[in-house]
Structure 1
Amino acid sequence: MLTRRAALMGAAGIAALPVLAKAAKAEEIMDTSHAAPVDLSSLKRIKRKLVRPPMVHEHEQVAPAEPRIVEFEMQIVEKEIEVDDGAHLQAMTFNGSIPGPMMVVHEGDYVELTLFNSPENLMQHNIDFHAATGALGGGSLTLVNPGEKTKLRFKATRPGTFVYHCAPGGPMIPWHVVSGMAGCIMVLPRDGLKDPEGNPVRYDRVFYIGENDFYIPKDENGDYKRFADVGESYPDTLEVMNGLIPSHVVFNGKVGALTGDNALHASQGEKVLFVHSQANRDTRPHLIGGHGDLVWERGKFNNPPQRDLETWFIAGGSAGAMLYEFLQPGVYAYVNHNLIEAVNLGATAHVVVEGDWNNDLMEQVQAPVEYDAAYEGKTALP
């Protein structure tokens, strides 16, 4: 009889099999069954339904006095996605979206996640929370085969924005991450966000931007390859990955995911919290036409935010947060300010803001007209 693990290994493809076998032994699976039990029966439990990014599930900005156990459910889905016209990725995802959905809790709360690995999947998966303490962020306690589920609980001890990602061991870790398996958790201070002077800060809405670098192979004719399943894609994808040059750098899973009909929307006067994660590479977000009023560049709310940044830095494997009050209507471009990656590879989002134009902030004094170059403009030169 064919065992689940044998089927898993076979389905991944002959070329990938030695690597997968090695990866299964790459990280120790911890046994914590002998640890002293913890009695949390007095704590209130609440359930949060995760939503598809860039939106974020309902949550309070200021927490009740007592910590709670916040329950989430998340399903791992392997599926093909179209990153751009003609470019398809055999993706691995949390809850079917890239990035995985954002979770929000408060410092001192307990996060309790039930993680399902769909039986249709081919791969082992787990979850590593950068917000958690011990057991490789929970990765050593959550490794599940297709058709299995697991439940992990951890205490959110540090406020901030943090990446989570799949980390099943060895060379599987970078492959799963750049195939889409990363998301973000935000741990708010119990009394909410504060400005540098310690004054309360509130936001009207949250936009979650997950940035991904993809490595999609091409054939001898320069056309993007397409694969039958995620296992078949591994050898060719690994070759591109090891070259360290992404084929695409995108927000929320594909080129144009947050532009055009998919653009984000806000109103003049609204304060918007942008949470930006990148699980693999450094990036430099910038809001064209706006500023970072308050920026937690490394995403950690125990540290005072910086003010008035034009561009900020998100280190690979981390998430940052920026608050901006939109003062003018119009279309704002939110980009990775490596402009080659923003324009040519896809790392651009648009925010459409409704409202009334304020000429005091900016005015077109004269519309473009032709001028007499024989007499005008010469005084501009040194």
Structure 2
Amino acid sequence: MIKAVQAVLGLGLLCFAASQSAVAAVDYSKLPRIKQELVAPPNAPKHDQVVTGGPRIVEVRMETQEKLIEVAPGAKVWALTFNGSVPGPLIVLHEGDYLELTLSNPKTSTLAHNVDFHASTGALGGAGLTLVQPGEEVVLRWKAVKPGVFVYHCAPGGTMIPFHVISGMNGAVMVLPRDGLKDNKGKQYKYDKAFYIGEQDFYLPQDGKGGYKSFASPAEGMHEMLETAKGLIPSHVVFNGSVGAITGDNALKAKVGEKVLFIHSQANRPSYPHLIGGHADLYWVGGSFSDVPLTSQETWFVPAGSAVAAAYEFKQPGLYVYLSHNLIEAVLLGAALHMNVEGKWDDDMMIQLKKPASFDAKAAMDH
């Protein structure tokens, strides 16, 4: 098995070297460079929606971090992360740009890590060229040739692939068309805000009393986590790392009239996002910006191992709940977030004509 992986890796390196000589006409030293400062989800890095001119090299740096996190009260897991967050940060490029990634695995790590970019082409999505042992660093450059939103995840090989993914080591890349997004009629569509929701399924082993086990290191809990995962029943399904991570003071914020782009990824299982009290004005099926988006969707679909994008212009103020409409996962396992929208209420859109005696207006808005 090890020899087979080494053979594949060696072939990938040979192919990579051959491709480098084949495209030697590109003078990368003359391409403009942009350093993108990555931020923790649900926020997106600063970016232009429309760009002019030729391709650029977008530089990003990610560090693999192994950290103990609390998924829910009494439930902790050794998260394997990019830049310390579950999911990893959103990266934004434009079609034709080059991503130049520096991936660093600190000496304090206990495992090897790499990155498989679903947006890239060749060498197992870059996984064959980015494997770094603790204390090592690698630099990879790839060209963004497909516009859309895509998953990236760690894929060291064998059982380590599902283990790293279900331990939180995944994120998303958004590749925008150079002239920006288009609506269903081909007109330019500009959003006011973009949020990245990374959905994560965890499989925490339990002891004989029903409590969640804790382990001293990622490797110590790996066997039991994978055995639990074989049942395909997650203990938790959460947005951005833990139950309630995007609620309360951390709830998303917008205003009536603002157009919000939601980028939603699921590296391991399908999901069914739904915005209670709103819709997807535009939904790019499969995350493809090359295709005409669907309109007026009540619930949209995220296939396993992919990311999609949906946009909505908010019409009413108040509390919105964005969740997976597998309601068992949303309510019982944690796949939900809150969004607070400010603005003036429009009675023409909705009005309560008769109140029951038990009605509590504040509770209705806070529900």
**TM class, shorter-length:** over 0.9
Q: Provide the C-alpha distance between the structure 2 equivalents of 1:101 and 1:298, rounded to a whole number of angstroms.
A: 20
Q: How does 1:124-203 map to 2 (within 5 A)?
A: 124-203=112-191
Q: How does 1:336-347 map to 2 (within 5 A)?
A: 336-347=324-335
Question: Are residues 1:330 and 2:340 paired?
Answer: no
Q: Which of 193, 211, 225 is residue 237 of structure 1 equivalent to?
A: 225
Q: Which of 10, 30, 34 is residue 46 of structure 1 equivalent to?
A: 34
In structure 2, the residue corresponding to 1:143 is in which secondary structure? coil
> TM-score scaled by structure 1?
0.89
Contact 1:109 1:155 in 2 (8 A): yes
Task: Return the letter of the residue paired with 1:220.
Answer: G
- In structure 2, do the counterparts of structure 1 residues 24 and 89 end up closer, same or farther at CA, with 3 Å as the change threshold? farther
Q: Provide the C-alpha distance between the structure 1 equivalents of 2:238 and 2:313, rounded to a whole number of angstroms.
A: 25
- Per-residue displacement from partner, 1:277-305 (whole Å, max 9, x unpaired)? 00000010000000000001211000000
- Per-residue displacement from partner, 1:226-257 (whole Å, max 9, x unpaired)? 00010101111111011111000000000000
Question: Are residues 1:302 and 2:302 paired?
Answer: no
Question: Are residues 1:312 and 2:293 paired?
Answer: no
> TM-score scaled by structure 2?
0.93
CA-CA distance at 1:25 after TM superposition: 5.5
Instruction: Report which of the two has the higher share of helix.
Output: 2
- In structure 2, do the counterparts of structure 1 residues 218 and 23 end up closer, same or farther at CA, with 3 Å as the change threshold? farther
Aligned equivalent of 1:82: 70
Q: Supply the RMSD in Å over aligned alpha carbons.
A: 1.6
Aligned equivalent of 2:278: 290
CA-CA distance at 1:28 after TM superposition: 2.7
Question: Are residues 1:276 and 2:257 paired?
Answer: no
Q: Provide the C-alpha distance between the structure 2 equivalents of 1:33 and 1:297, rounded to a whole number of angstroms.
A: 35
CA-CA distance at 1:33 after TM superposition: 3.9
Question: Are residues 1:253 and 2:241 paired?
Answer: yes
Q: Provide the C-alpha distance between the structure 2 equivalents of 1:105 and 1:160, rounded to a whole number of angstroms.
A: 10
Identity level (%): 58
Contact 2:52 2:178 in 1 (8 A): yes
Q: Provide the C-alpha distance between the structure 2 equivalents of 1:220 and 1:78, rounded to a whole number of angstroms.
A: 27
- In structure 2, do the counterparts of structure 1 residues 219 and 362 end up closer, same or farther at CA, with 3 Å as the change threshold? same
CA-CA distance at 1:177 after TM superposition: 0.3
Q: Which of 265, 280, 294 is residue 253 of structure 2 equivalent to?
A: 265
Question: What stretches of structure 1 of length at least 5 have no aligned partner?
Answer: 1-18, 371-382
Task: Return the letter of the residue paired with 1:254.
Answer: S
Contact 2:93 2:99 in 1 (8 A): yes
Question: What stretches of structure 2 of length at least 5 have no aligned partner?
Answer: 359-367
Larger Rg: 1
Contact 1:71 1:113 in 2 (8 A): yes
CA-CA distance at 1:39 after TM superposition: 2.4
Contact 1:27 1:170 in 2 (8 A): no
Aligned equivalent of 2:9: 28
Q: Which of 210, 220, 227 is residue 208 of structure 2 equivalent to?
A: 220
In structure 2, the residue corresponding to 1:298 is in which secondary structure? helix
Question: Mean alpha-carbon deviation: is it higher for 281-290 or for 32-41?
Answer: 32-41
Aligned length, in residue pairs: 351
Q: Provide the C-alpha distance between the structure 1 equivalents of 2:70 and 2:127, rounded to a whole number of angstroms.
A: 29
Aligned equivalent of 1:374: none
- Per-residue displacement from partner, 1:125-171 (whole Å, max 9, x unpaired)? 10000000000000000000011000010000010000000000011
Aligned equivalent of 1:377: none
CA-CA distance at 1:61 after TM superposition: 0.3
- In structure 2, do the counterparts of structure 1 residues 22 and 85 end up closer, same or farther at CA, with 3 Å as the change threshold? farther
